[in-house]
């Protein structure tokens, strides 16, 4: 596949486990080397990445005036994402801290990646969040537990960067996630993960959310609705 394919997949074999047909899939494009995080979608690093668009809410309805693009690339050591999101009104946490994670960051504007490599126990996956101010949090999610938010004490070692372009009403968030934090396998072309992507915007009274794969639920944590991301060649 070249770039993003949202068409049906025939069958991919993941350690002997067949992936069902008709799952939407993101293609993450290989890079020979790791680079410092850049927030410019037109840079050579991101220009060569496939792009997908988020514009529907948790129940699959289009959200007027609110959309985001997401790009992805990978190296042997890291998986990269870049979110580029329109906004009408930002809802930002006062006194942001970016040198340590921010608990309950999900109560503010954030870009989120939910990703898991375990196709046998899909209730286990990782969650990564970045705010427009560069705040971040990572979580080891286990939905078998009563309080899966306890997973925030886990530390993946991922890196984050963000920038707000107020003139264009856009904000950008980049993530560099160590492969060892999300998978036991060595990174290789053809490796596939379960994934969903989200962006949240606005204060509680005007809160809006968009998802790549609609969870069809009030919570984002519906792994049965995740799509796929596949590590592809250049």
Domains of the chain are: 13-94+102-232 (2.60.40.1190)
Query: What's the pLDDT band for 103 if we cut at 50, 70, 90?
Result: very high
> Is the Cβ–Cβ distance between 159 and 175 less than 8 Å?
yes
Between 80 and 147, the higher pLDDT residue: 80
Predicted confidence (pLDDT) at residue 21 exceeds the cutoff of 60: no
Higher pLDDT, 88 or 146: 88
Q: Is the pLDDT of residue 82 over 70?
A: yes
Q: What count of residues does the chain have?
A: 234
Task: Give the model's confidence band at 159: pLDDT under 50 very low, under 70 low, under 90 confident, else very high.
Answer: very high
pLDDT of residue 172: 98
Whole-angstrom distance, CA of residue 124 vs CA of residue 207: 27
Phi then psi for residue 205, to 5 deg, are -70, -20
β-pairing verdict for 25-30 and 227-232: parallel
* 4 has a pLDDT exceeding 50: no
Q: Tell me the per-residue pLDDT of 41-69, one tens digit each, with 9 for 90 and over.
A: 999 999 989 889 999 999 999 999 999 99
pLDDT of 9 higher than 70 = no
| Closest to 233 in 3D by CA, of 191, 199, 200 | 191
Q: What is the mean pLDDT of residues 141-160?
A: 88
Mean pLDDT computed over 37-42: 96
Q: What percent helix, strand, coil does the chain show, rounded to 5?
A: 10, 40, 50
Average the pLDDT over 203-214 and give the result: 95
Check residue 13 and give its pLDDT: 29
pLDDT reported for residue 19: 37
pLDDT of residue 234: 82
Mean pLDDT, rounded, of the chain: 90
Name 100's Cβ contacts closer than 8 Å, sequence gap at least 6: none
- The whole-number pLDDT of residue 50 equals 80
pLDDT in the model for residue 151:
80
Per-residue pLDDT at 48: 84
Mean pLDDT across the stretch 215-226?
A: 96
Q: What pLDDT score was predicted for residue 7?
A: 35
Rg (CA), the chain: 17
Sequence-separated (6 or more) residues with CB below 8 Å from residue 68: 53, 54, 55, 83, 84, 85, 86, 111, 199, 210
**pLDDT at position 104, please?**
95
């Amino acid at each position: 596949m070249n770039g993003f394919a949202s068409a049906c997949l025939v069958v991919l074999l993941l350690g002997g486990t067949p992936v069902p047909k008709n799952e939407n899939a993101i293609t993450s494009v290989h890079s020979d080397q790791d680079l410092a995080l850049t927030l410019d979608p037109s840079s050579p690093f991101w220009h060569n990445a496939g792009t997908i668009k988020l514009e529907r809410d948790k129940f699959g309805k289009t959200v007027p005036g609110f959309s985001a693009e997401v790009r992805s690339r990978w190296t042997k050591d890291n998986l990269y994402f870049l979110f580029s999101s329109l906004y009408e009104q930002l809802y930002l946490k006062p006194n942001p801290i970016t040198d340590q994670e921010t608990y309950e960051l999900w109560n503010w504007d954030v870009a989120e990646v939910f990703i898991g490599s375990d196709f046998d126990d899909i209730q286990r996956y990782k969650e990564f969040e970045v705010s427009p101010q560069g705040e971040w949090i990572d979580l080891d999610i286990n939905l078998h537990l009563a309080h899966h938010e306890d997973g925030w004490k886990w530390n993946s070692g991922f890196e984050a960067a963000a920038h707000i372009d107020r003139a264009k009403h856009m904000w950008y968030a980049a993530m560099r996630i160590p492969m060892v934090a999300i998978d036991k396998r060595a990174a290789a072309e053809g490796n596939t993960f379960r994934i969903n992507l989200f962006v949240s915007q606005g204060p509680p009274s005007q809160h809006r959310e968009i998802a790549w794969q609609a969870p069809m639920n009030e919570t984002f944590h519906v792994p049965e609705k995740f799509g796929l991301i596949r590590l592809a060649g250049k």
